[in-house]
Amino acid sequence: MKVLRYSTQIHKWVGLVVGVQVLFWVGGGLVMTAIPIETVRSEHRLKTSTPAPLPLDQILSLSEIAQLSGVPPTRAELKTTQRGPAWVLFPLEGKPVVVSAATGRPFSAMTAHEATRLAVAAYQGEAAPSPAVLLEQAPKETGRDGPLWRIDFHDAERTTFYLSPETGEVVTRRSGVWRFYYFFWRLHILDFKTGENFNHPTLIAITALTLGVAITGIILLWIKLSRDWKVHRATRRRLAQKA
């Protein structure tokens, strides 16, 4: 009887506390399984393109680039971009430095017209873009630092492209679908600040309490089924005796 009484109290009151979060978990899980992750990432809105071969005869060596840029890199990456070949230099400290592989100097400032043109060239669809806006500080939803060009498209998902101001590459894609998905993701892990930490004490505590609700629920179910089975057997014995 003590087990029944304690299990009932724990199941009732703890279930009342964690019930809303369990609802968020189930609702968030439904959203995250119902919406394809490719749609969340707006992969269907980015054109597939084959990068142009690097013009190796026009590219400066890494040692020349390091000397001209004044950046001693610990790592370097050479790549093709929409504005020409680029070296990305990773110094020992600080942010990566992007320079033209042909000159060793930073790329010229990108205009709003050029940013819009590059975004439209990378976009898969017929929706018209809004004028490009240069953001001096990248929004939190991009997960990046520094300035970015933002171009919004008037499609059903309200797609947004964020472009690198140096190379014109689409570095981040966001949409209304992504923001809807991410809202439920933050509810799911209870991290409303960054949406990345799922090891914080609040989530661990609520998960432990929910486990307690599940265990006491199993205990209550077992007791209920045992009683029902005893009643069923007793009823069968009485009927057999009468027969």
From CA 220, how far away is CA 212, in angstroms rounded? 12
Strand pairing report for 97-100 and 73-79: unpaired
Angle at 192 between CA 190 and CA 194, to 5 degrees: 110
Under the banding of pLDDT at 50, 70 and 90, the label for residue 45 is: very high
What ranges make up the beta strands (E) of the chain? 73-79, 86-91, 97-100, 133-135, 148-152, 160-163, 170-174
Tens of pLDDT, residues 71-91: 999 999 999 998 999 999 999
Q: Which range, of 48-52, 94-98, 133-137, 213-217, averages the lowest pLDDT?
A: 213-217
Tens-digit pLDDT profile for residues 50-70: 878 888 888 999 999 999 989
Long-range interactions of 214-222: CB distance < 8 A, separation 24+: 216/7, 216/8, 216/10, 216/11, 216/14, 217/11, 219/3, 219/7, 220/4, 220/7, 220/8, 220/11
Residue listed under structure tokens 């089924």:
225
What are the backbone angles phi and psi of residue 132, rounded to the nearest 5°?
-65, 145
148 in Cβ contact with 167 (< 8 Å) = no
The pLDDT value given to residue 157: 94
